[in-house]
């Protein structure tokens, strides 16, 4: 399971399923075990933000995704994001483009 699998068919999933799939991803994929609980919460908030747009038939624009990446990069020290965490979150945001 990968981040692209997590965001696939996002419009038809309930919040508890997304949370469960996120937890499953953390346990099965060793690349994501380094994420702290605050980083997981940040990822879930981003997923929920885009999920609401996708449910209404609005595909996230590349500008919106780029703005989120910029704000995450600016606040990376305050949020405690390592370069690996930031790269994984950027991959998640890129998966919304598809």
Q: Which residue, 52, 62, 56, 57, is CA-closest to 93? A: 62
The percent helix, strand, coil of the chain (3-state, each to 5) is 75, 0, 25
Banded model confidence at residue 37, pLDDT cuts 50, 70, 90: confident
Is there a contact between 35 and 88 (Cβ–Cβ < 8 Å)?
yes
Considering all CA atoms of the chain, what is the largest pairwise distance in Å, rounded to the nearest integer? 34
Return the domain boundaries, the chain: 3-95
Contacts of 18 (CB under 8 A, 6+ apart): 6, 10, 44, 47, 48, 51
pLDDT tops 90 at residue 47: no
Which pLDDT value is given to residue 68?
A: 94
pLDDT digits (tens, 9 = 90+) for 51-74: 888 888 888 899 999 999 999 999
Q: What is the pTM of this model?
A: 0.78
């Amino acid at each position: 399971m990968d981040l692209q699998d997590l965001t696939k068919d996002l419009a038809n999933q309930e919040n508890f399923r997304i949370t469960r799939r996120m937890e499953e991803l953390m346990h099965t994929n060793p690349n994501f075990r380094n994420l702290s609980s605050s980083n997981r919460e940040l990822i879930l908030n981003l997923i929920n933000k885009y999920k609401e747009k996708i449910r209404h038939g609005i595909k996230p624009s590349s500008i919106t995704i780029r703005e989120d990446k910029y704000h995450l990069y600016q606040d990376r020290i305050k949020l405690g994001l390592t370069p690996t965490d930031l790269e994984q979150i950027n991959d998640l945001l890129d998966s919304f483009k598809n």
